[in-house]
């Protein structure tokens, strides 16, 4: 990645009547970064990216590209490009004509723009003999590559992606996640990506921003956010967790001691819960019944019950062997493997 931010948001806000879609967002995105914005429906992520791409005007605040203010610069005059969920391809045109569209609008000679198109097709690993093929004859994954090639052909500094994989089936989506990350590495361009899929964000991103009610509530590396969430909302949004309330050094749901832990919530990921045998130690111990198990490839997920509380544990195959549905066991976790959040 390059030195310093390529894009800066300074107190960006957007209102639609009485609705605040984006609420005073300030954030820097580094040059060459794969930055993903995630959040529940209505969190403001799509509106924020449309502002950054010049497709919406903010109600307040500034968008800076390097040292220049581009807040009021139209989208077609910015060195950026958007790849939409619908892909927005011209179905009456060939693959090559779709990729060359921007160059043709700029008056680039036919031979030159064809050469650029073929080079870009190589970048996205689309066979050159697809150049004359109609996009209607392309598969979903091939159409995605055409859309990427068309975006790259204009040589933008920043590529924006508005949930481009959400309509794909699971197997194709997993293939394209890997290809997107590889494409980012090979081009060195700045990717700004929005998705509702936490899995996509974790696989592809250098950094992730979590949005809620128009605000960015936490930004950081996937590992940082997963292991050190800033709030209960972030912890639970980032995947399955066990959340316990702590009052006066006691974990209310377990009736166990949490020495030295302030009041608030303890977040424990399923992989850090373990069943305890004779002589095994843990900072927090409790008894739980095994209600059900679910195979997850190399790991097994167990649903446990403590009174009316349902807990989730994930164990590797060797540790899962011998656990029986309906039996009660001693379980535990260490405080070093938890995150503490105030609310």
Mean pLDDT in the chain?
90
Average pLDDT for 226-246? 91
Instruction: Tell which CATH classification among 3.30.360.10, 3.30.56.10, 3.40.50.2000, 3.40.50.300 matches the domain 5-233.
Output: 3.40.50.300
Strands (E), 44-175: 60-65, 68-69, 80-83, 158-162
How confident is residue 254, by pLDDT bands cut at 50, 70 and 90? very high
Alpha carbons 11 and 52: distance in angstroms, whole number? 13
The full set of domain ranges for the chain reads 5-233, 241-341
Alpha carbons 315 and 319: distance in angstroms, whole number? 6
Alpha carbons 218 and 208: distance in angstroms, whole number? 8
Alpha carbons 231 and 66: distance in angstroms, whole number? 32
Instruction: Please tell me the predicted confidence (pLDDT) of residue 120.
Output: 87
Instruction: Please tell me the predicted confidence (pLDDT) of residue 1.
Output: 59
Alpha carbons 280 and 275: distance in angstroms, whole number? 9
Strands (E), 168-241: 190-195, 207-212, 215-220
Tokens of 111: 């031979």
Average pLDDT for 83-95? 83
Q: What is the largest CA-CA distance in the chain?
A: 78
Tokens of 227: 């292991």
Contact 261, 292 (CB under 8 A): no
- The pLDDT tens digits of the residues spanning 300-323 come to 999 999 988 899 999 998 888 889
- Residue 303, burial from CB neighbour count under 10 angstroms (0-12, 13-18, 19+): middle
What is the architecture, at CATH level 2, of domain 241-341? Answer: Beta Barrel (2.40)
Signed CA dihedral, 177, 242, 314, 284: sign only: positive
The C-alpha torsion from 292 through 296 and 300 to 301, rounded to 10°, is -50
Alpha carbons 224 and 218: distance in angstroms, whole number? 10
- The overall pTM is greater than 0.75: yes
Q: Looking at per-residue confidence, does 153 or 211 come out higher?
A: 211
Alpha carbons 91 and 97: distance in angstroms, whole number? 10
Q: Looking at per-residue confidence, does 70 or 322 come out higher?
A: 70
């Amino acid at each position: 990645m390059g030195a310093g931010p390529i894009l800066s948001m300074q107190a960006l806000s957007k209102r639609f009547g009485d609705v605040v879609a984006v609420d005073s967002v300030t954030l820097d995105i580094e040059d060459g970064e794969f930055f993903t914005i995630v959040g529940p429906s209505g969190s403001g992520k799509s509106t924020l990216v449309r502002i950054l791409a010049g497709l919406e005007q903010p109600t307040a605040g500034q968008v800076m590209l390097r040292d220049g203010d581009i807040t009021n610069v139209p989208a077609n005059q910015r060195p950026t490009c958007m790849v939409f969920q619908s892909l927005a391809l011209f179905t009456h045109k060939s693959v090559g004509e779709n990729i060359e569209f921007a160059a043709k609008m700029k008056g680039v000679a036919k031979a030159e723009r064809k050469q650029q198109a073929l080079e870009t097709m190589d970048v996205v690993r689309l066979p050159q003999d697809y150049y004359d093929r109609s996009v209607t004859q392309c598969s979903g994954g091939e159409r995605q590559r055409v859309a990427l090639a068309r975006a790259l052909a204009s040589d933008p500094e920043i590529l924006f992606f508005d949930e481009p994989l959400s309509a794909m089936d699971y197997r194709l989506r997993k293939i394209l996640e890997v290809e997107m990350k590889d494409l980012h590495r090979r081009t060195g361009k700045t990717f700004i990506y929005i998705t509702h899929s936490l899995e996509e964000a974790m696989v592809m991103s250098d950094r992730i921003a979590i949005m809620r009610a128009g605000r960015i509530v936490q930004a950081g590396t996937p590992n940082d956010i997963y292991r050190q969430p800033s709030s209960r909302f972030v912890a639970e949004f980032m995947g399955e967790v066990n959340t316990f309330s702590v009052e006066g050094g006691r974990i209310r749901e377990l009736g166990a001691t949490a020495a030295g832990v302030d009041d608030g919530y303890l977040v424990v990921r399923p992989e850090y819960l373990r069943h305890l045998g004779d002589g095994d130690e843990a900072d927090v111990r409790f008894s739980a019944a095994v209600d059900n198990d679910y195979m997850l490839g190399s790991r097994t997920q167990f649903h446990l019950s403590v009174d009316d509380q349902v807990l989730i544990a994930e164990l590797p195959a060797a540790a899962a062997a011998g656990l029986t549905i309906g039996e009660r066991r001693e379980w535990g976790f260490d405080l070093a493997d938890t995150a503490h959040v105030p609310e």
